[in-house]
Chain A
Amino acid sequence: MSIASLLLDLAKRLLAPRVDVPLLIGLLMLLAAGLLILYSAAGGVPLVVSQGARVGAGLAAMWLISRVPPLQLRIWTPWLYAASLTLLLVVPVFGTGRSGRHWLDLGFFFLQPAELLKLTVPMMVAAYLHRETRAPGWTALLVCAVFVGIPTALIAIQPDLGTALLVAASGVFVIFLAGIAWWRVALLGTLALLIAPFGWFGLREYQRARLITFLDPEADRLGTGWNIIQSKIAVGSGGLFGKGWGEGTQSRLDFLPEHTTDFIVAVFAEEFGLIGILLLLALCLLIAARTLWIAAEARDVFARLVAGALGLTFLVYVVVNVGMVSGLLPVVGVPMPLLSYGGTSAVTLLAGFGIVMSVHSHRKLLK
């Protein structure tokens, strides 16, 4: 027995039963791409190191959670939901942030409680619907609306509209996957479209400005329109093959704002071109597909609802961010999952994929 095969055996023991290898490979590729482009966007190592540490913590969390059976997770769910909601309630009092109170300063880490809700909300809704015997009716929908609505509202008033929408989406996906009748979907969808215009009055000034900017970016070239114009310039100037790694002038010369966070995909598109972007989108699609596949394999209702919702939320994440970067959607401040610089988001996402892996590895035990 060589040392190499011993190590291989050890790796198999540690990973094989609990970790889904295709999903892990997809995630690692995405993470690697993220660190690679962060190195270029941040123009150096320091940011890459700190993001690397967070990714490490996230992977550890993922590995830990993947070992917890979904049944156990379901039992913990109400407590987790309550805990994350409490943190969210604390944020307006103790929180810090640039344009509102978003973060809790834990000394070593800025915790963004809103990110945690992206996990606990679908878990809570799934746990509730798990015990329902039929497709969700009006009563169940009302309960779910409360579970989803309270955190969404709290996050929206922080204000962080992007995260609020994603949290809401993660809950809605659970309801959708739980088999809500199509006519109810149609009815609620129509209702939402009718109410939406009134939401304008609930928006803050800067949020309205962003929407106007989205509709006509050239209206305020140096103000709110700047981000989207510079982002489109970065993307468009990248061309088919891109300017090359570290050669993106838009980010390197600071023309592109937020180029390590919300707009990191613009840097990616500038440096790696259309080819790079298409590969990136394909990778995201594969990760989501694998997640949904795992969900579909699961026999436990809670497990598959949570995994399915997480997979779909991940895609919404991607679509909203990439849509924003390419000027298709308004600037809502949604980071690119696993690519953007930011701690809580990365850790939460990886923890979520930990649940997915737990679902995968326990799919047969729950028969």
Chain B
Amino acid sequence: MALLLRPRFLRDAVAEHAMFRRRALVAFLLAVVAIAILGSRFAWLQIVQHEEYLTRSDDNRIKLRPIVPARGLIYDRSGRLLADNVPAYRLELIREQVTDLEETLRGLGQLLPIGEDELLRFRASWKAERRFQSVPLKFRLSEAEVARFAVNRHRFSGVDVVPYLTRRYPYGDLFGHVIGYVARIDAEDAETLDPARYSGSTHIGKSGIERHYEGRLHGEIGFEHVEVNAEGRTLRVLERTPASSGEHLYLTVDAELQQAAAAAFEGQHGSAVAIDPRNGDVLAMVSLPGFDPNPFVNGIGREEYAALLHSESRPLFHRAVNGGYEPGSTIKPFVALAALELGIRRPEDRVLSTGAYRLPGQGREYRDWRKGGHGYVDLRESLAQSVNTYFYSAAVDMGIDRMSAYMQRFGFGSPTGIDLAGDAAGVLPSREWKQATQGVTWYPGETVISGIGQGFWVTTPLQLAQATSLLAVGGSGFPPRLLRATQHGFDAAVIDEPVRTKVGIAVADLRMRDAVVEGMVAVMHGPTGTARAAAVGAPYLIAGKTGTAQRVGRTGDAAVDLELLPFNLRNRALFIAFAPAYAPTIAVAVVVESGGSGSRAAAPVARRILDAWLLRGIAR
């Protein structure tokens, strides 16, 4: 240390001082240059590039978030809620912020039960989504689960509990087929839908009304500009374009009648459709067994779904619009009207039923259901007793071409155009149809059995109901529909759906229609009527017709669309009716699959439906 403190000698203090000042000045000037460069750098960034960086700063903090519109509600014709939105919570992962997916999933799995199915579905959409979007992992968290996650939330970055509205169907399986259900948007949906309109939407209508009116139920998406921090948490809303919720739908169906119709089957399988013939409103549409749409909304379990899918009784199959049935004798009133209108028969013309009908020059016998026949019968009696011979001969006299052409008026052989997906066309037998589908010419014997609704005939319960409804109003009426009115928002007026064009052709001479109706009334109320047991005690007049279709092996079967094939080989009991007979307000078609005859199995079901509608409000 002493070395450092030694006194100094021989220094030129003045020169040294001057040198210091020069050196200090040089260094300072260099520093000024450096600072000047910095200053110009800031000027460059803050003035020349200001706009660009301002944009990037805003891009950093302002995110555009979609506001999912509330889905429109669905009511029945008198305002009972059929599809509701209820608040729920779901667990979401934000792609950008999840650092280790496997670790996160493991941690979450320890906290909340996450099903195998949920994981599979999650992984599929995790791959598909873009990085800044969130992917739902688990829907409908229970309150306990929400609380458990909230406590542990700090452990999971990029995981959030998000409130949302979930669809609920209060009537469960009663309207499963009609209303259908919404379910998560899958890859297939994503290809067809408008990505802007559905950004933020997780669900879409998959079947039934939910699917057919998806466009009106979904509503219009809204947007909000939110300020987020670097972690992506929303701090405040800067600007908001609210979503406009979907339209509320008022259907034509009546929940009480639907309930009564389902109950009327007493556990049997089958289908029933009830239509108001005055306007085409479908009052009830039942397909049994049904299914509960609720589990589908948030993802049905694979096993549960497989059970529904592979069940013998095919609960997911909508029999009312897709079920193909041979109409059998229920076709007879229409064949009768055809014969009258085409001038082949007059109502009073009598035909001899001997129990067997033969085509000239052919040996094959076409039988009546009563051995030995019904004797001489006019139109009324042949309908009341369902005399086959009368209709064999009527069909043969008309010829298949004229009969087919006439039957088209009642909608046979083409979809009804109802507001549901997958409305089947059925088969109206004709020379052209057979040539086109089987490449074989028409045989005269096929005309004979077509006259009693056998052979190639395939109809859906909805088609039968529509035809019955058209018959009830004289040949020209409104096609069936499910949507009656809509409403934009809860306070808005309920707006009726526009009037549609009528279908069918009005019967030229209403007396002919009346003659057929008289025959159908005799089915129910006449002393010989096949379904007179089902009309006992009815305080109103019913016009009806029974039908029993037998599943017998026929060459024609192979060509029928597989979707339209009945499920098994048992007899089908059918019944069509409308009431009150001379001022009809309801027309029904009933198919009971569990066998038996139309009169014994199907007519009582129809009677219960008619009672439920016509006697509603009247104590029984």
Instruction: Give chain A's interface residues, CB within 8 Å of chain B.
Output: 74-75, 77-78, 127-128, 130-131, 133, 173, 176-177, 179, 230, 232-240, 249-250, 253-255, 269, 273-274, 277-278, 281, 284-285, 288-289, 292, 295-296, 299, 301, 304-305, 308, 312, 315-316, 318-319, 322-323, 326-328
Q: Are B32 and A236 in contact (CB under 8 A)?
A: no
- Contacting pair A233 B8 (CB below 8 A): no
6 A-B pairs with least C-beta separation: A236-B53, A237-B57, A254-B230, A253-B229, A274-B46, A315-B31
Pairwise interchain contact B4-A131, C-beta atoms closer than 8 A: yes
Q: Are B56 and A237 in contact (CB under 8 A)?
A: yes
Most buried by A among B4, B43, B52, B57: B57
B54 x A236 contact (CB < 8 A): yes
Interface set, chain B 28-62, CB cutoff 8 A to A: 28, 31-32, 34-35, 37-39, 41-43, 45-47, 49-50, 52-54, 56-58, 60-61
Contact B24 A296 (CB under 8 A): yes
Give the one of A128, A131, A236, A285 with max B CB within 10 A: A236
Residue of B nearest to A321 (CB): B38
| CA distance in complex: A10, B61 (Å) | 53
Q: Are B53 and A232 in contact (CB under 8 A)?
A: yes
Complex contacts, A253 vs chain B, CB 8 Å: 60-61, 227-230, 235
When C-beta atoms are compared, the residue in chain B nearest to A274 turns out to be B46
Closest to B34 in A: A319
CA distance A43 to B89 in the complex (A): 33
Known: A232-B45, A236-B45. Contact between A133 and B9, CB under 8 A? yes
Cβ-defined contact, B28 with A292, below 8 A: yes
Are B53 and A237 in contact, with the CB atoms below 8 A? Answer: yes
Q: Verify B38–A131 contact, CB threshold 8 A.
A: no
- In angstroms, Cα B5 to Cα A326, docked, is 45
Given contact pairs A277-B42, A308-B24, A249 touches B60 in the complex (Cβ within 8 A):
yes
Q: Are A176 and B229 in contact (CB under 8 A)?
A: no
Listed stretches B12-20, B217-225, B346-354; interface member: B12-20
Contact of A133 among B8, B52, B57, B58 (CB under 8 A): B8
**B23 is an interface residue with CB less than 8 A from chain A:** yes
**Contact A239:B54 (CB < 8 A) given known A75-B5, A296-B20:** yes
Q: With A319-B35, A319-B38 given, can you name 13 additional A-B contacts, CB distance below 8 Å?
A: A131-B6, A133-B9, A173-B27, A177-B27, A179-B20, A232-B53, A233-B57, A236-B53, A249-B57, A274-B42, A277-B42, A281-B39, A288-B28
Q: Which residues of B lie under 8 Å from residue A284 when comparing CB positions?
A: 35
Q: Confirm or deny: B231 has a beta carbon within 8 angstroms of a beta carbon on chain A.
A: yes
- Given A253-B235, A296-B21, A308-B20, check contact A269 B46 (CB 8 Å): yes
B16–A179 CB distance below 8 A:
yes
Chain A residues positioned under 8 Å from B8 (CB to CB): 130-131, 133
Asked whether any CB of chain A lies closer than 8 Å to the CB of B1, the reply is: yes
Please, which residues of chain A bring their CB within 8 A of the CB of B13? 299
Residue of A nearest to B48 (CB): A236
- In the bound complex, residues from chain A placing their C-beta under 8 Å from that of B4 are 74, 77-78, 127-128, 130-131
Chain A residues near B37: list those with CB within 8 A: 328
A278 to B35, CA, bound (A): 9
B559 at interface (Cβ–Cβ under 8 A)?
no
User: Does B11 interact with chain A (Cβ within 8 Å)?
Assistant: yes
List of A residues within 8 angstroms of B19 by Cβ: 179
Q: Does B196 contact A (CB under 8 A)?
A: no
Judged by DSSP, the binding face of B is helix
B552 at the interface (CB under 8 A from A): no
Restricting to B157-215, which residues have a CB under 8 Å from any CB of A? none
- B235 and A176 within 8 A (CB): no
B128 lies within 8 A of chain A by Cβ: no
Q: How many residues of B contact A (CB 8 A)?
A: 48
In the assembled complex, the Cα of A249 lies from the Cα of B57 at a distance in Å of 8
Q: How far is the CA of A254 from the CA of B60 in the complex (A)?
A: 10
Given the complex of chains A and B, what is the CA–CA distance between A292 and B38 in angstroms? 21
Residue of B nearest to A78 (CB): B1
Asked, given contacts A127-B4, A179-B23, A319-B34, whether A236 binds B9 with beta carbons under 8 Å apart, the answer is no
Report the minimum CB–CB distance from A297 to chain B (whole Å): 10
Contact A176 B38 (CB under 8 A): no
B508 at the A interface (CB under 8 A):
no
Residues of chain A lying within 8 A (CB to CB) of residue B49:
236
Which of chain B's residues have a CB closer than 8 A to the CB of A292? Answer: 24, 27-28
When distances are taken between beta carbons in the complex, the residues of chain B under 8 Å from A323 are 38, 41
Q: Given contacts A78-B1, A133-B11, A319-B34, are A238 and B46 in contact (CB under 8 A)?
A: yes
A288 and B42 contacting across the interface, CB-CB below 8 Å: no
> Is B10 close to A, CB under 8 A?
yes
Complex Cα distance A315/B33, Å? 11
Shortest Cβ gap from B548 to chain A (Å): 74
Q: Within 8 Å of chain A (Cβ to Cβ): is B562?
A: no
Whether A273 contacts B11 in the complex (CB less than 8 A), given A179-B16, A237-B57, A281-B39, comes out as no
**What's the nearest-Cβ distance from chain B to residue A251, in Å?**
10
Query: Which A residue sits closest to B17, measured CB to CB?
Result: A299
Distance, CA A232 to CA B3, complexed state (A): 51
Residues of A within 8 A of B21 (CB): 296
Indicate whether A235 sits within 8 Å of B53 (C-beta atoms), given known contacts A274-B43, A285-B35: yes
Alpha-carbon separation in the docked complex, A237 to B62 (Å): 14
* Cβ-defined partner of B41 (8 Å) among A250, A254, A328: A328
Q: Could you tell me the distance between the alpha carbons of A327 and B42 in the complex, rounded to whole angstroms?
A: 10
Chain B residue at minimal CB-CB distance from A254: B230
Q: A176 to B27, Cβ gap below 8 A?
A: yes
Report the separation of the CA atoms of residues A173 and B30 in the bound assembly, to the nearest whole angstrom: 13
Residues on the B chain within 8 Å of A308, using CB: 20, 23-24, 27
With A312-B27, A326-B38 as known contacts, state yes or no: A255 contacts B61, CB within 8 Å: yes
20 A/B residue pairs, CB under 8 Å, sorted by A: A75-B5, A78-B1, A131-B3, A131-B8, A179-B23, A232-B53, A237-B56, A239-B54, A249-B61, A253-B61, A255-B230, A269-B42, A274-B47, A285-B31, A288-B28, A296-B17, A299-B13, A312-B31, A323-B41, A326-B38
Interface contact B31-A133, CB-CB below 8 Å: no
Q: In whole Å, how far is A202's beta carbon from the nearest beta carbon of chain B?
A: 26
Cα(A327)–Cα(B11), bound, Å: 46
Give the residue of B11, B23, B34, B231 whose beta carbon is less than 8 angstroms from that of A254.
Answer: B231
- Chain B residue numbers with a CB within 8 Å of A250 are 57, 60
CA distance in complex: A274, B41 (Å): 10
Smallest CB separation, A186 vs chain B (Å) = 14
Partner pick for A326 among B34, B45, B231, CB 8 A cutoff:
B45
Which chain A residue lies CB-closest to B23?
A177
CA distance A237 to B46 in the complex (A): 7
Identity of the chain B residue whose Cβ is nearest the Cβ of A281 in the assembled complex: B35
Q: Which residues of A contact B46 (CB under 8 A)?
A: 235-236, 238-240, 269, 273-274, 277
Docked complex Cα distance between A315 and B29 (Å):
11
A45 vs B31: C-alpha distance when bound (angstroms): 35
Q: Which residue of B lies closest to A226 (CB)?
A: B230
CB–CB B3/A234 < 8 A: no
Closest to B37 in A: A328
Q: Which residues of A sit under 8 angstroms from B34, Cβ to Cβ? A: 315, 319
The chain A residue with its CB closest to the CB of B231 is A254
Nearest Cβ distance between residue B124 and chain A, in whole angstroms? 26
Q: How far is the CA of A133 from the CA of B19 in the complex (A)?
A: 14
Contacting pair A255 B60 (CB below 8 A): yes
Q: Are B17 and A234 in contact (CB-based, < 8 A)?
A: no
- CB pair A328–B28 under 8 Å, yes or no, is no
| Alpha-carbon distance between A299 and B1 when the two chains are bound, in angstroms | 23
Complex CA distance for A236 and B23, rounded to whole angstroms:
36
Q: Which residues of B contact A75 (CB under 8 A)?
A: 5
Give bound CA distance, A10 to B246, whole Å: 79
Cβ proximity bits B567-579 to A, threshold 8 Å, 1 near / 0 not = 0000000000000
Which chain B positions have C-beta within 8 A of A255? Answer: 60-61, 229-230
Instruction: Give B95 Cβ to nearest chain A Cβ, in Å.
Output: 14
Contact A322 B38 (CB under 8 A): yes
Contacts of A277 in B (CB 8 A): 39, 42, 46
Looking at the assembled complex, report how far the CB atom of A248 sits from the nearest CB atom of chain B, in whole angstroms. 9
Q: How far is the CA of A323 from the CA of B42 in the complex (A)?
A: 10
| Chain A residue at minimum C-beta to C-beta distance from B53 | A236
